[in-house]
Amino acid sequence: MVLIIYGSMENFYGLTLTQLESIIGALGKEKYRSRQLFKWIYNKNVLEFGKMTDLSKSLINMFKDMFFLSPLKTKDVFSSKDGTMKFAFVCDDGNIVESVLIPDKDRLTLCLSSQIGCRMGCRFCVTGRIGFIRNLKTSEIIGQLMGVRQHPGVDKITNIVLMGMGEPLDNFDNVMPALEIMKEPSGLDFSHRRITLSTVGLIGVLKSVMPKTAGIAISLNAADDKTRSELMPINRLYPIEEIVDFVRNYKADRRTRITFEYVLINGVNDSLEDAEKLAKLLKGLKCKINLIPYNESPFIDFKRPSEKTVERFHNHLINRYYTTIVRDSRGGDIHGACGQLGMRYLDQG
Ligand code: SF4
């Protein structure tokens, strides 16, 4: 149910197709017009209702009165020597939100933010240091994607990861409609297999996320509660056992596996004993493991392990028959790598 308030303009990017259909119905127009609008806006990337040539003048005028089409405004674009680009967008209230575009062979992955700051307080993460400022609206999540698409030379984005600033499941009410918009076949048409939602493991909320919503990545980072609680305060609320139980009972199709992310931090969680603990913990689970060597920042004391340590940890898991990959750090020179977003908030004190 969508309330139409004439006179108050809203950003179209916040509307799901279902909401749009209710509006079109309330205006006495045919339902299929909604799909035509989605096609113009998301498929053809058109930013003005007036340019949608197969829509009637009366419908265009009604939409011009009710909605505007506004991607987030780009403040800065930083380009890394490895091809990664970091976009800093400015919201209407002046807050800055960052997104990262990562080219990799035949993929172009966009990492989106879901909040400004974050209340999860993971000790290895710059965004966690900022603390929570506010949730992003649905239109601001889609507005990042559309903002990146306006940038000259940006090719077709093939994958979306919600791994930027914020914990997506802590902003469930705005993130779920954004995923619905991304997946709508008449518009952006991302398959759920090409979207990954990364979470610290808010199990209470995760249980209400249906399997075909998106791929799930759980940020684990330790195989024992003591170390994990030190790194991630949320572990006191949802300890490791609950996460493992959730994954064991996760009902998905045969091809779907949950990913565990494990940030390797020098001297904290990177020993062979840690690798063996992890192997034992995940025994029998249908999962993949992504190892992410820590990306250092001037605000946090943790250090990245040596390549030899990473290789040893990796090999140990491979020898235990886990599908494990070491995630290349991308965009480190522009502070666009995992855990580095939002540094400008700390820079300003
Ligand atoms: S790692 Fe993710 S959940 Fe943890 S503080 Fe950073 S942004 Fe928040």
Q: What is the pLDDT of residues 278-304, one digit of tens each?
A: 999 999 999 999 999 999 998 999 999
State pTM to two decimals: 0.94
Helix (H) or strand (E) holding 85: strand 85-90
pLDDT band of 85, cuts 50, 70, 90: very high
Helix (H) or strand (E) holding 75: strand 73-79
At what angle are helices 307-319 and 272-281 packed, to 10 degrees?
30
Copy the structure tokens of residue 244: 């493992």
Burial of 47 (C-beta count, 10 Å sphere; 0-12/13-18/19+): middle
Atom of ligand 1 nearest to the CA of 170: 3
- CA–CA gap between residue 242 and residue 6 (Å, rounded): 47
Q: Is the pLDDT reported for residue 60 higher than 70?
A: yes
* pLDDT score recorded for residue 1: 45
Task: Please state which CATH number belongs to domain 10-68.
Answer: 1.10.150.530
CA of 71 to the centre of ligand 1 (A): 25
Pairing of strands 96-104, 107-111: antiparallel
Atom of ligand 1 nearest to the CA of 165: 7
Please indicate whether the domains covering 10-68 and 73-347 agree at the CATH topology level: no
What is the pLDDT averaged over residues 140-156?
94
- CA–CA gap between residue 298 and residue 314 (Å, rounded): 27
Residue to mutate (ligand 1; options 124, 167, 346; most atoms within 8 A of CB): 167
Say which range, 78-92, 102-116, 194-208, 248-262, has the weakest mean pLDDT: 248-262
* pLDDT score recorded for residue 256: 79
CA of 128 to the centre of ligand 1 (A): 5
Say which range, 44-48, 55-59, 281-285, 340-344, has the weakest mean pLDDT: 340-344
- CA–CA gap between residue 332 and residue 142 (Å, rounded): 25
The reply to whether ligand 1 has any atom less than 6 angstroms from the CB of 117 is no
Protein residue whose Cα sits closest to atom 5 of ligand 1:
128
Q: Kindly state which CATH superfamily the domain 73-347 is placed in.
A: Aldolase class I (3.20.20.70)
* pLDDT score recorded for residue 348: 65
pLDDT band of 349, cuts 50, 70, 90: low
Residue 86's alpha-carbon distances to 18, 113, 167, 334, in angstroms, are 32, 12, 19, 7
Indicate the domain borders of the chain. Answer: 10-68, 73-347
**Residue 328 or 130, more confident:** 130
Burial of 331 (C-beta count, 10 Å sphere; 0-12/13-18/19+): buried
What is the pLDDT averaged over residues 257-267?
96
